[in-house]
Structure 1
Amino acid sequence: MSLLRSAATISGLTLLSRITGLIRDILIARTFGASPLTDAFWVAFRIPNLLRRLFAEGAFSQAFVPILGEQKANQAPEKVKTLLDHVALVLFISLLVVTIIGIIGAPIVVWAMATGMRQGEGSGFAEAVWMTRMMFPYILCMSLVAFASGVLNTWKKFAIPAFTPVLLNLAMIFACFFLIGTFTQPIYALAAGVMLGGIAQLTVQWIALAKIGLLPSFRHKIRDAWHNPDVRRIIKLMGPAILGVSVAQISILINTNIATWLPAGSVTWLSFADRLMEFPTALLGIAIGTVLLPSLSAANAKEDVQTYSRLLDWGLRLVFLLGLPCVLGLALLSEGLVASLFNYGAFTHKDVLMTQTAVVAYAVGLIGILSVKILAPGFYAKQDIKTPVKIAIFVLISTQILNLIFVPYFHHAGLALSVGLGATINASFLYIGLRRRQAYIPHSRWLPFFARILPALIVLGAWLYGAQHFIDWQMQDPNSLNQSLSLFLSQWLGNGHWVASSSRIMALLIVLVISAIIYFATLFMMGFRLKDFARQR
């Protein structure tokens, strides 16, 4: 099975996840708008997410997957199963302790995360504390989900891990419709939805492990698990990995904290902009990086530098081929994206403008964000986590210097711009590090590659510029294309707000479909073919 097909499978399921996530955020925007209460939810939701990325998907996966792949290739199945049992037990006990501490110390955690959210009625602080306590066990669920994902991906079962995030979004959508009336403060329903989603994700992945006979057992003694040599190796690797991931999460923590000192709604505007930026990040960066890591680890184990380099070439070429049009889409169609998706109900014209500026700022660093997802696994496959950590520390300092420069002028958008530029610095140093070690020796002819992409980007950019400026995305001009489309739909479907909303979504879909046709047709004329990227494992 080709890497491209595997990446396409993950991307397709991730797209489903992002679409349901988008529907989730549209419902949140329409129901709650951008206010201190929505800021409180996003702050509270970011805390378990931060820990999830720190302990589970971040440091744990980086340390666990390469060692698991090595054990799978070299050890008997019985020994591999024992390793899985021991790792699951240590992970569960460790995160259970973290969860209990987090629930008890929620007020301190919220204060540290959002010092600008001062205590007092209407500030959102009390609500953030309540929701933090409700959602803290989410980290326990997601740590075990990360464990299951690492096992399933190592066994080339990519579909289930890519699908399970959909369940979180569906649970939160369910909460928006059916749980709001259950709580005295309606926004608490979202926190309940997060926990339902975490339990659903864990259940589905645990069933998938059982089907391949790898469901972990918790009957071992914690002492035996702790003293397992391979578990100790994972813990040893997790040390620098936690430091490396924590550097990125500290940057998020600082940015969230800064945002709470900016005008009310800033955290929410950044969260919705981040949702749009996550589409290409997940569909390209995470999907390709997930597929690459096991293959890079195998190539490194064989000391096959040529295959290792060709794998990185393949990943980076896809990032530029598919990432650059995404940059243009976010930058040149930002108003259309934000207005069509979020400008309903309590989400106002001002909210659209504020979110739009953050989307444009994120677009500046999108290629850097995507490239990190490809280059960092190059180090993880070699079980070298210290180098990315050193680079991450430098990037953290650089990002905060950029915040000092940009936030006074661009406010919340300055935070997004600093994140993107910081990721670009990160990717540059990762690339330089791999080249200096001669671990990565590019084989592709990069200059002709970019020369063939450029015409497609120019044509696409011209189309998107016209769509952004000649379509009234917020439907304020009675003679606009959107209003005409809305009138046409009204004649067939009846009157109402739903018709106006549908016309904007339809216009956006038309623009996006035409954009894809324009870009890929131009690429075809420039000589690109799908088989050029269909790399085998």
Structure 2
Amino acid sequence: MTLSPVSRDAAAPEPDPVPDAAPPPPAASGHPSRTLARAFGITAVLSVAGSLLGLARDLVLARYFGAGRETDAFLVAWSVPETAAPLLIDSAMPLLMLPAFSAALASRRSPVGPDPHPALPHDPQSVTAAGPVDPVPALVLATLPRLCLLLTLLSSVTWLGAPSVVALLAPGLHDPALAVTCTRFTATTVFFFGLAGYLSAGLRAHQHFTAPAAVYTAYNTGILITVVLTHGSLGIRAAALGVAVGSLLMVVTVLPAFHRRCCRLTSLKRRPGADRSLAAVTLSLQALVPVVAFALTRQSQVYIERYLGSGLPSGTISHLNYAEKVAQMPMAIAVMISTITLPLIARAMAEGDTERARDQVEKDLVLVSAITLAATAFLVACAPQILALLFQHGAFDAADTSASAAVMRIFSLGLLGQALVGATARPFFSARPMARFADSTPAGGQGTNLSGWIPTAAMGLGLAVTAAVSLLTAPRYGAPGLAAGNAVGITLTAALLLGGLRARGIPVTLTRVAARLSRLCAAAACATGAALCAAHFAGPDPLPVVLLVGSVTVVVFGTTAWLFGVHELRAPLLALAGRRGKA
């Protein structure tokens, strides 16, 4: 889909007969807020579909395997894709490659003089032997082969080191041999996730969101089909095999769109100027290392849970997993807003327009917080009913529901911190791309050279708090104690990142943002109280409780947020209403 006029870079314009005149931009398809709303709508539908399939995946796992030793063993192996997904799809790869692709597009559309990278009528990737280099295929040629080699090496090391990985992550696990076998299946995700993340970043930079939004739909479809077909013969190993199959389907989903929209991969080697394309791109480890360090540090919260949970009664890791997977679904949808707007922020920072970047970041923070806090009120009010409705079938019994509900309620208190970390971390990396071009000029407002390390430092402090709280509370409270450590640590990280945005070069008005967040928290408190009352009077059947509490939460939260003056919610709602009115 096309989000804005800048996406014409992915298409082949007609050659301009006047050398000194740039081709006119196409007419805008609508107001920017409406195009953003359309992008969010399509991405939301596909992301919700992926989340629902992920929920179905967890339902199948709960039905067939419950919450016991085998499931714990698989969840330890699942630490590999759980690390690879945020590192290579959700965080590091977009934060590295999306700004790089945005810089390439900005270089291609340089306003100085004639168009430095004219495209031929039927081959947008072509350049003449004497002409300048098109930066987009130059970037792909310089980065994609090296990335594939690195990912292959990492996958191989993970496969060979599976016993050490299991021993490090869960030394008290009751069935380490099974976990090793599952880890070797999941090791393949390192390669496929990395490739899918790279291709998705390129598509998003070109303002195409449909295929990237569908990757988790493909992933969970692969897991579901594999588990249903092979659980009888392979047991829990079927889930690990399904993870490998699903990661392959991710690449299959985005590769054709990338080839069509961004760069014709089959013509890279034989294109004239390929050698100069490679020389025109400079790769920077100074941009790579902070992003990788942040992603790994953030994922270390899960490592702490698995490490300490392996020494607690069997099923603890499973209860944490089921509760957190459900609680994170609305938060993931909220953070999707910042994923959609990241290309706009990256382009603004690449062009030195810090005011435009600031306005977008502030809007993102309010919208992300509103969705997350409304979800928090809903989850706290009816956690037992949600889990009973979803999982209490087959091997997952009432005791598992009660244990997981206690975890969910405490973990939900940290959802706002989780969402804000996801939304605020992106701007820190948005204007220091991993790749630079020979003809590019530095953009303004990039902050200090050390600003890229602020997210890692903030996450490190939050991680230390997580570990301390978990060590103090887990021996007495078990899984809820681990959830409390997670919530406290990530909330501290979010506060530190909000305070560090100015050091990044984005002049966010912290007092204004803090005022909006405090009003949203007040609205969430009102919604939680109303939802708890509704849950109390709705009766024992979980389905009516969930439906009633959900309705009450939306109405009370929306009304109180409006009364408290959070009018930033008005624009996206009116944009969506306008689209419906024209339909």
Question: TM-score, normalization: structure 2?
Answer: 0.78
Q: Is 1:359 the equivalent of 2:408?
A: yes
Letter in 1 for 2:55: L
Q: Does 1:316 align with 2:340?
A: no
Q: What residue number does 1:155 align with?
A: 206
Partner residue, 1:103: 159
Q: Deviations over 1:194-245 (max 9, x none)?
A: 1221111110111111222524359759x97997563522x44111222222
- 1:108-153: CA deviation from partner (whole Å, max 9, x where unpaired): 1111111111xxxxx3211111111112111111110000110111
* Of 3-12 and 441-450, the range deviating more from structure 2: 441-450
- Mapped to 1, the partners of 2:221 and 2:420 lie a distance apart of 30
Counterpart in the other structure of 2:100: 67
Q: Deviations over 1:46-105 (max 9, x none)?
A: 123313433554333322211221111113353311311331111111111111122122
Query: What's the CA shift for 1:518?
Result: 4.3
CA contact (8 A) 1:341 1:505 kept: no
Counterpart residue number, 1:261: 311
Structure 1 residues 507 and 237: alpha-carbon distance in aligned structure 2, compared to 1, 3 A threshold: same
The answer on whether the counterparts of 2:73 and 2:176 sit within 8 Å (CA) in structure 1 is yes
The residue aligned with 2:492 is 425
CA offsets, 1:278-333, max 9 Å, x none?
A: 21221001x12212321112222233232222111101111232222112112121
Q: Specify which of 137, 141, 148 is matched with residue 81 of structure 1.
A: 137
| Superposition deviation, residue 514 in structure 1 | 4.4
Displacement of 1:437: 6.2
Verify the 8 A CA contact 2:138 2:277 in the aligned structure 1: no
Q: Of 64, 74, 77, which residue of structure 2 is paired with 1:41?
A: 74
Contact 2:499 2:510 in 1 (8 A): no
Which structure 2 segments of 5+ residues have no match?
1-31, 109-116, 118-124, 126-133, 433-450, 576-583
CA contact 1:43–1:113 (8 Å) conserved in 2? yes
Instruction: Work out the number of aligned pairs and report it.
Output: 497
* 3-state SS in 2 of match to 1:333: helix
Where does residue 27 of structure 1 map in the other structure? 60
Determine the structure 1 residue equivalent to 2:176: 125
Cα RMSD for the two superposed structures: 2.9
Which protein is richer in helix relative to its size? 1
Q: 2:460 is matched by which residue type in structure 1?
A: I
**2:368 is the alignment partner of 1:329:** no
Please tell me the residue identity of whatever aligns with 1:72: L
Tell me, yes or no, if the aligned pair for 1:333 and 1:467 is still in contact at 8 Å.
Answer: no
Amino acid at match of 2:147: L
| Residue 558 (structure 2) pairs with residue 520 (structure 1) | yes
Conserved 8 A contact 2:366-2:568: no
Letter in 1 for 2:257: A
- Which deviates the most, 368-377 or 507-516? 507-516
Residue 41 of structure 1 deviates from its aligned partner by 0.9
After superposition, the Cα gap between the structure-2 partners of 1:266 and 1:297, relative to the gap in structure 1 and judged at 3 Å, is: same
- Quick one: which of 394, 406, 412 aligns to 2:479? 412
> Partners in 2 of 1:17 and 1:321 — Cα distance?
22
Quick check: 2:380–2:412 contact (8 Å CA) kept in 1? yes
Amino acid at match of 1:365: G
Query: Which residue does 1:441 correspond to in 2?
Result: 508
Cα distance in structure 1, aligned partners of 2:211 and 2:183: 28
User: Within 1, Cα distance between the matches of 2:371 and 2:168?
Assistant: 38
Q: Deviations over 1:417-452 (max 9, x none)?
A: 212221111111111112456622329956875687
- Matched residue SS, 2:158: helix
Q: Contact conserved, 1:170 with 1:197, CA < 8 A, in 2? A: yes
Q: Following superposition, which runs of at least 4 residues in structure 1 exceed 4 angstroms of deviation?
A: 217-221, 223-229, 443-456, 521-531
SS in 2 for 1:262: coil
Q: Structure 2: which amino acid aligns with 1:28?
A: L
How far apart in 1 are the matches of 2:513 and 2:204? 30
The reply on whether 1:401 has 2:450 as its aligned counterpart is: no
Q: Which of 399, 405, 416 is the matching residue for 1:350?
A: 399
Aligned 8 A contact 1:179 1:189 in 2: yes
Amino acid at match of 1:418: G
1:187 to 219, 232, 236: 236
Residue 578 of structure 2 is aligned to residue 509 of structure 1:
no
- How far 1:343 moved relative to its partner? 1.2
SS of equivalent residue, structure 2 residue 431: coil
Task: State the SS of the aligned residue for 1:315.
Answer: helix
Question: Which stretches in structure 1 are left out of the alignment for 5+ residues?
Answer: 118-122, 473-479, 483-503
- C-alpha distance in 1 between matches for 2:572 and 2:222: 36
Distance 1:115 1:195, change over 3 A: same
**Percent of aligned pairs sharing the same letter:** 24
CA distance in 2, matches of 1:55, 1:181: 32
Contact kept? 2:297, 2:459, Cα under 8 Å: yes
Q: 2:414 touches 2:491 (CA, 8 Å); kept in 1?
A: yes
Whether the 8 Å CA contact 1:107–1:129 is kept in 2: the answer is yes
1:466 aligned to which of 533, 536, 553:
533
- Following the alignment from structure 1 to structure 2, what is the Cα–Cα distance between the partners of residues 524 and 397? 37
C-alpha contact (below 8 Å) 1:293/1:377 kept by paired residues: yes
- CA 1:70–1:187 in structure 2 vs 1: closer, same or farther (change >3 Å)? same
Matched, 1:205 2:254: yes
Q: Taking structure 1 as reference, are residues 430 and 446 closer, same or farther at Cα in structure 2, changes over 3 Å only?
A: closer
User: C-alpha separation between the residues in 2 aligned to 1:264 and 1:390?
Assistant: 34
